[in-house]
Amino acid sequence: MTTTTHTAMHHDPSAAALAVAEYEAEQRRAHDQRQHRDVRIYALGRIFIAALFIVSGAAKIFSYSATVSALNEVLPDARMMVPLGIAIELVGGALLLLGLRTRAAAVGLIAYLATVTLLVHHDLSEPLNRSFALGNLAFAGALMLLFAHGAGALSLDRATHRG
């Protein structure tokens, strides 16, 4: 006959509860820190996308004659189209910057990029057009992410409960 000795492990239930509570509190702190970091990074990304459009619109204003001249070769009425493009870039960029009506601004800017790509950069045999078309595709992708996820926590959309 074999005898086995079994010793039960005993612990202090209050010490175990305290250890679990401390572990959970640390996990919450780490999660909150990651979330705050991600909120700031997301807002910064939205601001960078906005900067692209604002700077592009401003550049067209400062070099208006040169822009119209360059586009006269590919657009039937560049004098009419350039002011429209400037307005779209500045207004859309400002809306993104503020995080105001972000989803609508993203859709409008995607449509604008598609139009510009088809009208101006359609000849993909030209290396510069290929570069612009690919860049516009990447910017449209970033705008799609804004459409899908909204402006983020640091935005007027969130402050006004739209986003």
In this predicted model, what pLDDT tens digit does every residue of 98-119 receive, in sequence order? Answer: 999 999 999 999 999 999 999 9
Give the list of residues 6+ apart from residue 149 with CB closer than 8 angstroms, or none. Answer: 42
| Per-position DSSP letters for 8-26, written without gaps between them | -----HHHHHHHHHHHHHH
Residue 68 has which token pair?
Answer: 């119209």
Gap between the Cα atoms of 114 and 67, Å rounded: 19
In this predicted model, what pLDDT tens digit does every residue of 116-142 receive, in sequence order? Answer: 999 999 999 999 999 999 999 999 999
Render the burial of 57-85: b for 16+ CB within 10 Å, e for the rest.
Answer: beebeeeeeebbeebeeebeebeebbeeb
Give the global pTM. Answer: 0.84
Residue 95 has which token pair?
Answer: 């809306």
Gap between the Cα atoms of 61 and 82, Å rounded: 9
**Cβ–Cβ < 8 Å for 89, 53:** yes
Q: Is the pLDDT of residue 69 over 70?
A: yes
Q: Is the pLDDT of residue 73 over 90?
A: no
